[in-house]
Amino acid sequence: MSQPNVAPPVPATPQPLLEVKNLRVVLPLLEGELVASDGVSFAIAPGKTLGLVGESGCGKSITAQSILKIAPRIARTTGQILLHHPDRPPTEIVGLDKSDPALLRVRGGECAIIFQEPMTSFSPVHTIGNQIEETILLHRTRDKREARQLAIAILQKVGIPAPAEALRKYPYHLSGGMRQRAMIAMALASQPRLLIADEPTTALDVTVQAQVLRLMRDLQRDMGMAILYISHDLGVIARMADEVAVMYMGSIVEYAPVRDLFRAPRHPYTRGLMASVPRIGKKSGEPLESIPGNVPIPINKPRACGFFPRCPVAIKGVCDTAVPPLVEVAARQKAACFQYPEVVAAAGLDREIANVR
Amino acid sequence: MSAEPLLKVEGLKKYYPIETGLLRKVTGHVKAVDDVSFELRRGEVLGLVGESGCGKTTLGRCIIRAIDPTAGSARFLPAPGEAVDLAQADRAALKRMRPHMNMVFQDPYSSLSPRMTVRDIIAEPLRAHGVPEAQVGPKVERMAQMCGLNTAQLTRYPNAFSGGQRQRICIARALVTDPVLVVADEPVSALDVSIQAQILNLLQRLQRELNLSFIFVAHDLSVVEHIADRVAVMYVGKIIELADTQDLYARPRHPYTEALLSAVPKPDPDSVDETILLGGEVASAANPPSGCYFHPRCRYATDKCKAEAPALREVSPGHLSACHFAETLQLRGVTPDQD
């Protein structure tokens, strides 16, 4: 068992909509245990956007899937995922049985998800209308005619021209951008309070991406939903998120409001990521700063900082023997790195650090 | 740098027939690449950008004759007096040219044979061109080392490698015959952000050390700006703007380029979203609109744009644009963000 992240998950904000506490998802594989999510804690306030950043295999998607309990069946999940309600006690999702009616209300109802590839998330043999109305009939009304009207309204809202005709079309009739709009329409059809967006624009061209990003922000403003926005693209995160959690090898290594994160990244991995992206409008001719080594796969992860082998400021004897907890290292900014005395103190390693130095 | 370009492409076209009905009657053509002309200088990196379906990959593949173009010419001059028109060359001539040009693909997972060792993968182009076996080993090792692979890794199979390392293998394979022209088709877009920088740096270093000429096909405008000397922007099979990188990014002369540049999200939460949203959809290459292909989405379009197709012409020294109003429009480029 690796050490859980000690810090409380949220600064004192008003009642969050979603609280994830010490989430741990383990996939038992032939090669060993893959710790996809290793003690992850975060919270999202109503109407706000949390950006979840990281590279492939860092556990960002499986964390999101756990919220809807759609992670792979072999996954062993522990920890708490609390969905708060204004009028009743919160729903704890990790412990729900898969046939529990409360889970069905969460899935596609209170929480909806949109995926990267809209072509694979629609059924190819049902019309767009069928698929959107299904959601509405499940969560909002039993009346078919009303469902049709609501479906038309939501397609109009996401900017699909001639929505009544679009309902009769099949997904392959639509272009990539229109399909992603239809996907968003399907997700929003149930008027969710939380929208999980898992790399929703990665497969799209920049001009279409710009349209979809603006659409999502407009819809968020109108409907007041919270968004968990997963992406590897720092530009998109800068535009969309209020707060950002940076993940590496299953753990959140930095957690901060978006401005603070981009102005002064605290974790060496975040710094490395930002330095390795070429910035538009800044041609220098110099090589990019890059993070050496490869993105590791967290199978049989050692009890150490996951970033240790690639880290430019690693402290030998400390970073390779203990897991740094995620602690506040500056106002509103949390980082999990032993270069900060706050982190060392929280882990109780003051003496070890002194010995190494 | 000699004055003569390494590659001179003129009027290159690739049309795919649209067949309908039982008799497969040809009812039209998808004009994937439609009358494209440009020059590639020696030791230059030419970025080729545009949205999916604009024909940038097809153009790269036509030049290297991975597919046969429908019409046009591509005069390739690997060494003085050895000019060959790649678009029309026969099998024998092409085979002679193959060592001088090669390609790096987007997906390093599907472009390496899982049943060959890394050594055999890198050696294959040499063996195909009849390089004596005694020279193969040293050449492979030298190239592998230049690409950041060590000798011990050569005996392993691709499945032992991560995406970034696989792309190093692909690059070593492409460069082992000492080519002068490399077509790199989205070589970093399948890679993680932290690995992308490593591979970009590697490509840039090799390009300078070996004085390679690159056609760098990509959709990521920041990446292209970083690596390219000049950039060509494609829209529905045509090059609509071509200029020096800094000139194109700072002072675009085509409304499509302006919109494209404005849509790139900057990694700065304080940057103002100045995206110019394009209405409608990318025009279809099977049934393009009249006049300028971009006019239905262009916010500056006039009646002239609907009627007349603009030609690609020089609007300022070294800056080509295919817009009727390139000289008069005040278009917005990328403003660098402050730090």
Question: What is the per-residue pLDDT across B215-265, written as a single tens digit (0 to 9) for each?
Answer: 999 999 999 999 999 999 999 999 999 999 999 999 999 999 999 999 999
User: Which chain A positions have a beta carbon within 8 Å of B190's beta carbon?
Assistant: none
Residue A309 and residue A171 share a domain: no
The angle, 0 to 180 degrees and rounded to 10, between the axes of the packed helices A176-188 and A128-139 is: 20
Q: Which of B164, B219, B261 sits opposite A294 (nearest CB)?
A: B164
Domain count, chain A: 2
Contact A238 B266 (CB under 8 A): yes
Confidence of residue B1 (pLDDT cuts 50, 70, 90): very low
Cα separation, B18 vs B29, in Å, equals 5
Q: Which of B205, B268, B278 sits opposite A207 (nearest CB)?
A: B278
Tokens read off for B82? 């050895």
Residue A151 and residue A26 share a domain: yes
Residue B205 touches chain A, beta carbons under 8 Å: yes
Contact B198 A272 (CB under 8 A): no
* Amino acid type, A275: A
Coil, strand, or helix at residue A105? helix
Cα separation, B168 vs B143, in Å, equals 10
Residue A134 and residue A49 share a domain: yes
Residue A211 and residue A135 share a domain: yes
Contact at 8 Å (CB) between B154 and B120? no
Tokens read off for A38? 């290793």
Strands (E) in A161-313, as ranges, are 194-198, 226-231, 243-248, 251-257
Size of interface A-B (CB pairs under 8 A): 138
Q: State mean pLDDT over B66-71.
A: 95
pLDDT tens for the 357 residues of chain A, in order = 445 555 544 444 568 999 999 999 999 988 889 999 999 999 999 999 999 999 888 899 999 999 999 999 899 999 999 999 988 899 999 999 888 999 988 988 899 999 887 777 889 999 999 999 999 999 888 999 999 999 999 998 888 888 999 999 999 888 888 888 899 999 988 889 999 999 988 878 888 889 889 989 999 999 899 999 999 999 999 999 999 999 999 999 999 999 999 999 999 999 999 999 998 888 888 899 889 888 888 888 888 999 999 999 999 989 999 999 999 999 999 999 999 999 999 999 888 888 876
Cα separation, A272 vs A311, in Å, equals 9
In a domain, A8, yes or no: no
Tokens read off for B295? 């006019």
Q: Which residues on neighbouring strands pair with residue A80, listed in sequence order? A: A21
Tokens read off for B51? 């949205």
In a domain, A277, yes or no: no
Q: Which of B205, B263, B269 sits opposite A209 (nearest CB)?
A: B263
Tokens read off for A63? 């964390």
Chain A residue whose CA is closest to B334: A281
Mutation site for A-interface testing, chosen from B226, B231, B240, B278 by largest number of A Cβ within 10 Å: B226
Tokens read off for B190? 């399948």
Mode of pairing for the β-strands spanning A194-198 and A226-231: parallel
**Among residues A240, A256, A272, which one ends one of the domains?**
A256
Q: Which of A206, A258, A273 sits opposite B193 (nearest CB)?
A: A273
Coil, strand, or helix at residue A98? coil
Residue B302 touches chain A, beta carbons under 8 Å: no
Coil, strand, or helix at residue B106? coil
Residue A251 and residue A107 share a domain: yes
Chain A residue whose CA is closest to B275: A210
Alpha-carbon gap: B83 to the closest alpha carbon of chain A (Å): 32
Cα separation, B234 vs B201, in Å, equals 25
Residue A245 and residue A307 share a domain: no
Residue B193 touches chain A, beta carbons under 8 Å: yes
Q: Which of B246, B249, B277 sits opposite A210 (nearest CB)?
A: B277
Mode of pairing for the β-strands spanning B181-185 and B101-104: parallel
Contact at 8 Å (CB) between A135 and A150? no
Q: Which of B193, B269, B278 sits opposite A55 (nearest CB)?
A: B193
Contact A279 B337 (CB under 8 A): yes
Tokens read off for B238? 């045509």
Chain B residue whose CA is closest to A242: B269
Q: State mean pLDDT over B307-318.
A: 95
Cα separation, B64 vs A181, in Å, equals 38
Residue A129 and residue A63 share a domain: yes
Placement of tokens 């989430």 in the chain: A23
What pLDDT does A1 receive? 42
Strands (E) in chain A, as ranges, are 18-29, 32-44, 49-53, 76-83, 91-92, 111-114, 194-198, 226-231, 243-248, 251-257, 327-330, 333-335
Our CA angle for B147, B124, B201, nearest 5°, is 15
Q: Which residues on neighbouring strands pair with residue A183, listed in sequence order? A: none
State chain B's mean pLDDT as an integer. 92
Contact at 8 Å (CB) between B211 and B42? yes
Tokens read off for A276? 């390795």
Residue A62 and residue A170 share a domain: yes
Q: Which helix (H) or strand (E) holds A132?
A: helix A128-139
Contact B266 A210 (CB under 8 A): no
Coil, strand, or helix at residue A106? helix
> Which of B195, B120, B123 minimizes the C-alpha distance to B157?
B120
User: Which chain A positions have a beta carbon within 8 Å of B247's beta carbon?
Assistant: none
Contact A236 B194 (CB under 8 A): no
Q: Which residues on neighbouring strands pair with residue B15, listed in sequence order? A: B31
What pLDDT does A297 receive? 83
Alpha-carbon gap: B209 to the closest alpha carbon of chain A (Å): 14
Tokens read off for B316? 């300022």
Contact B281 A287 (CB under 8 A): no
**Among residues A256, A275, A291, which one ends one of the domains?**
A256
Contact B226 A206 (CB under 8 A): no
What pLDDT does A230 receive? 95
Residue A40 and residue A176 share a domain: yes
> Which of B232, B172, B194 minimizes the C-alpha distance to B44?
B232
Q: Which residues on neighbouring strands pair with residue A334, listed in sequence order? A: A255, A328
Alpha-carbon gap: B107 to the closest alpha carbon of chain A (Å): 15
Sign of CA dihedral A314, A315, A316, A317: negative
Cα separation, B309 vs A176, in Å, equals 27
> Which of A274, A270, A276, A263 minimizes the C-alpha distance to A326?
A270
Chain A residue whose CA is closest to B51: A205
Contact A206 B278 (CB under 8 A): no
Cα separation, A307 vs A296, in Å, equals 9
**Among residues A256, A274, A289, which one ends one of the domains?**
A256
Contact B52 A206 (CB under 8 A): no
Q: Which residues on neighbouring strands pair with residue A107, listed in sequence order? A: A111
Alpha-carbon gap: A87 to the closest alpha carbon of chain B (Å): 35
Cα separation, B244 vs B320, in Å, equals 10
Mutation site for A-interface testing, chosen from B51, B56, B189, B192 by largest number of A Cβ within 10 Å: B192
Contact A210 B265 (CB under 8 A): yes
Residue A124 and residue A46 share a domain: yes
Tokens read off for B170? 């692909």
What is the span of the domain harbouring residue A327? 302-357
In a domain, A164, yes or no: yes
Instruction: Determine which of A193-207, B58-72, B124-138 has the lowest per-residue pLDDT on average.
Output: A193-207
Our CA angle for B202, A246, A307, nearest 5°, is 60
In a domain, A98, yes or no: yes
Q: State mean pLDDT over B94-119.
A: 93
Contact B225 A283 (CB under 8 A): yes
Residue A162 and residue A81 share a domain: yes
| Percentage, residues of chain B above pLDDT 70 | 98
How far CA B240 is from CA of A61, B233, B253, in Å, comes to 39, 6, 9
Residue A184 and residue A53 share a domain: yes
Coil, strand, or helix at residue A262? helix
Q: What is the DSSP letter of B284?
A: P
- Nearest-Å Rg of the Cα atoms of chain A is 21
In a domain, A263, yes or no: no
Residue B206 touches chain A, beta carbons under 8 Å: no
Q: Which residues contact A267 (CB under 8 A, 6 or more apart)?
A: A246, A253, A254, A307, A335, A336, A337
**Is residue B304 over pLDDT 90?**
yes
What pLDDT does A116 receive? 81
Mode of pairing for the β-strands spanning B45-49 and B213-217: parallel
Q: State mean pLDDT over B157-169.
A: 92
Tokens read off for B12? 């290159």
Count CB atoms within 10 A of the CB of residue B269: 19
Chain B residue whose CA is closest to A273: B194
CATH number for position A154:
3.40.50.300
User: Which chain B positions have a beta carbon within 8 Å of A207's beta carbon?
Assistant: 51, 259-260, 263, 277-278
In a domain, A270, yes or no: no
Q: State mean pLDDT over B279-304.
A: 90
**Is residue B166 over pLDDT 60?**
yes
Alpha-carbon gap: A267 to the closest alpha carbon of chain B (Å): 15
Higher pLDDT residue, B187 or B22? Answer: B187
How far CA A215 is from CA of A158, B70, B128, in Å, comes to 7, 41, 53
Contact B334 A281 (CB under 8 A): yes
Residue B201 touches chain A, beta carbons under 8 Å: yes
Q: Which helix (H) or strand (E) holds A118?
A: helix A118-121
Chain A residue whose CA is closest to B274: A210
Mode of pairing for the β-strands spanning A32-44 and A18-29: antiparallel
In a domain, A90, yes or no: yes
Contact A294 B195 (CB under 8 A): yes
Contact A238 B204 (CB under 8 A): no
Cα separation, B235 vs B54, in Å, equals 5
Alpha-carbon gap: B97 to the closest alpha carbon of chain A (Å): 31
What pLDDT does B103 receive? 94
**Is residue B12 over pLDDT 90?**
yes
Cα separation, A309 vs A269, in Å, equals 11
Q: Which helix (H) or strand (E) holds B133?
A: helix B133-146
SS3 content of chain B, % helix, strand, coil (to 5): 30, 25, 45
Chain A residue whose CA is closest to B226: A283
Mutation site for A-interface testing, chosen from B109, B150, B194, B282 by largest number of A Cβ within 10 Å: B194
* Amino acid type, A33: E
In a domain, A11, yes or no: no
Alpha-carbon gap: A132 to the closest alpha carbon of chain B (Å): 23
Contact at 8 Å (CB) between B10 and B69? no
Mutation site for A-interface testing, chosen from B57, B189, B193 by largest number of A Cβ within 10 Å: B193
Contact at 8 Å (CB) between B90 and B68? no
